[in-house]
Amino acid sequence: MKPVAIVTDSTSDLPTSVAEPLGIHIIPCNVHFGTEVYRERIDLTNDEFYQRLANSPQLPKTSQPASGVFEELYRQLASAHSGIVSIHIAAKLSGTLQSADIAAKEIREVPVATIDSGSTSMGLGWLAVMAARAAQAGQSFADVVGVVNDATPRVRILALLENLENVTKGGRIGKGAALLGTMLVSNRY
């Protein structure tokens, strides 16, 4: 029986040393610095991203991969797999899942499940790892989908920020909230 293929996107933050042995395929999201567009982890490494971020007067923007990028990978995987489980960044954070959905509708050779992780970073990454381990253990397409769907509501991420500069620059919080937050943190010590 052919194995189930696992696909995720680069927002999963999965190290190559984890993804490759598990056979996880990672679709790169796009990072925009002004008019320059980079495919995350292909044209722009994490170190290069953080260096540019520190030196850029504006925050970079991101965009989802085109549906054609997903479709091309799905077609490649279809010939050697019994199904494709494609797990992505939360739909409320990105249009990546929408691109994956559009591509999945074009694939007729094998079933393709696109799953909203409801998460990002390693919350998403761990779901892909769990799916890949189930696939490597020989579980069916339906069982691999079940593993992900069962674990998704239990995934939680805790994020801590060193400062509020970039969330203020990006408009996620207002200057008043940033000032108040900075004062609260500064007065703790």
- State the pLDDT at residue 23: 97
Q: Say what the pLDDT of residue 10 is.
A: 96
Model pLDDT, residue 175:
66
Taking 50 as the pLDDT cut, the residues of the chain under it are 189
User: Angle at which helices 96-104 and 67-78 pack, to 10 degrees?
Assistant: 50
Diameter of the chain measured on Cα atoms: 62
The two tokens of residue 29 are 């999201």
Predicted structure pTM score = 0.87
Provide the CB-side half-sphere exposure for 56 (13 A, CA): 18
Q: What is the DSSP string of the chain?
A: -PPEEEEEEGGG---HHHHHHHTEEEEPPEEEETTEEEEBTTTB-HHHHHHHHHH-SS--EEEPPPHHHHHHHHHHHHTT-SEEEEEES-TTT-SHHHHHHHHHTT--SS-EEEEE-S--HHHHHHHHHHHHHHHHTT--HHHHHHHHHHHGGG-------S-SHHHHHTTSS-HHHHHHHHHHHHHT-
Report pLDDT digits (tens) over 63-96. Answer: 999 999 999 999 999 999 999 999 999 999 999 9
Tokens of 142: 């339906």
Residue pair 79/109 in contact by the 8 Å Cβ criterion: yes
What pLDDT was estimated at residue 183?
A: 57
